[in-house]
Amino acid sequence: MAKNMMLYWGSGSPPCWRVMIALEEKQLQGYNHKHLSFDKKEYQCAEVKALNPRAQLPTFKHGDIVVNESFAACLYLENAFKTQGTRLIPSDPAEQALVYQRMFETENLQQKMYDVAFYEWYIPEGERHESALKRNKENLVKELKLWEGYLEKMGKGSFLAGKNFSMVDVVCFPVIAYFPRLHCPKEKCPRLMEYYEMVKERPSIKATWPPEWLENPVGQDTLKSL
C-alpha cells in the first residue's frame, strides 16, 4: 500500500517531520522517499517542481494524488487510512474540536519560536534591532505560558489534547522538540519538557528523528536567553 507513495523531505523541518510521523502512526512504513538538502537547495529540483509549483518540502504523492501542505497531508493520511494504525482524529465531536483547535494553534507556537530562534537568519544585519528581538521573546514566552496552561489543565502524563496520542501531537511535537535542542531554559516550559521527554520515546518519533540531529545532538543556543 505504501509502495505507491513518495515523500520528498528535508531533515529537521517540522512540516516534513510531522508527515513522516503520521506515516509511521498509520503503519505505512516502506513508502518511497527522497531526502533533499536545504543548504544545497536540492528541493528546487525539477522532480519536486513538477509536483509542487512552490518547490517546497514536504512534497507528498500517493498514486495520482499530490498533497504538499503538511497539515493537509497528515489529515489526508488519517482519512484515507482511518481504520489502520493509530486513530489520530477522535470520533467524539468535543474531543475532535479540541484536536483541531490545538493543531492550528501549533502554527502560532512555531512562528513565535522561529521569530526568536532564527531572528538573525530571517532579518538582514542592517535591519536588526534589540527592541524587536526583545518583543519577539516576550511574545514567545506568552505563547509558552498558554501551552503550559493547556498541559496543566490536562493533567500529568497527558498528551496535548487529552489522554490519547492524536493528530495535534503529530503536528506539534516537531515544533516542541526545537525547544530543548536550542537550549530553551526548562523553567520557561517545564510541562512542555515533561511532555517532550515522554513523547520522544514513542516508536514513530524515534523512527523519524532527524538524521542531522542524530549526527549533531546539540543545536545552537538561540533560545538560551529567553
Q: Residue 155 belongs to a domain with what CATH number? A: 1.20.1050.10
Give pLDDT, residue 121.
76
How high is the mean pLDDT of the chain? 95
Residue 28 clears pLDDT 90, i.e. is over it: yes
Give pLDDT, residue 149.
97
What pairing do the DSSP bridges indicate for beta strands 32-35 and 65-67?
unpaired
Give pLDDT, residue 27.
97
Give pLDDT, residue 128.
83
Give pLDDT, residue 196.
98
Q: pTM score, two decimals?
A: 0.95
Same-domain status, 132 and 69: no
Total count of domains within the chain: 2
Determine the straight-line distance between the first and last CA of the chain, rounded to whole angstroms. 45
Same-domain status, 57 and 119: no
Does residue 5 contact residue 31 with C-beta atoms inside 8 Å?
Answer: yes
A 10 A CB-CB count for 71 gives: 18
Same-domain status, 123 and 23: no
User: Which residue, chain included where needed, has cell 492524536?
Assistant: 166
Same-domain status, 101 and 162: yes
* Residues 74-89 pLDDT 10s: 999 999 999 999 999 9
- When pLDDT is cut at 50, 70 and 90, the band that residue 69 belongs to is very high
Give backbone dihedrals phi and psi of 34, rounded to 5 degrees, phi first.
Answer: -135, 120
Query: Does residue 88 lie within any of the structural domains?
Result: no
Cα–Cα dist 169/183, whole Å:
21
Of 49, 80, 111, the one marking the end of a domain is 80
Does residue 167 contact residue 99 with C-beta atoms inside 8 Å?
Answer: yes
Three-state SS at 207:
helix
Does residue 98 contact residue 161 with C-beta atoms inside 8 Å?
Answer: yes
Does residue 205 contact residue 167 with C-beta atoms inside 8 Å?
Answer: no
Of 57, 80, 103, the one marking the end of a domain is 80
Identify the domain containing residue 111 by its residue range: 93-215
For residue 208 the three cell numbers come to 523519524
Give pLDDT, residue 160.
98
Give pLDDT, residue 47.
95
* Residues β-bridged to residue 66: 61
Give pLDDT, residue 46.
95
Q: What is the mean pLDDT of residues 59-69?
A: 97
Residue 122 clears pLDDT 80, i.e. is over it: no
Does residue 99 contact residue 79 with C-beta atoms inside 8 Å?
Answer: no
Same-domain status, 109 and 182: yes
Same-domain status, 61 and 117: no
Give pLDDT, residue 3.
87
Encoded amino acid at 56, one letter? Q
- When pLDDT is cut at 50, 70 and 90, the band that residue 124 belongs to is confident
- Cα angle vertex 138, ends 133, 143, to 5°? 125
Q: Residue 63 belongs to a domain with what CATH number? A: 3.40.30.10
For residue 13, the surrounding DSSP H or E stretch is: none
* Residues 168-197 pLDDT 10s: 999 999 999 999 999 999 999 999 999 999
Q: Which residues contact 56 (CB under 8 A, 6 or more apart)?
A: 43, 68
Same-domain status, 194 and 106: yes
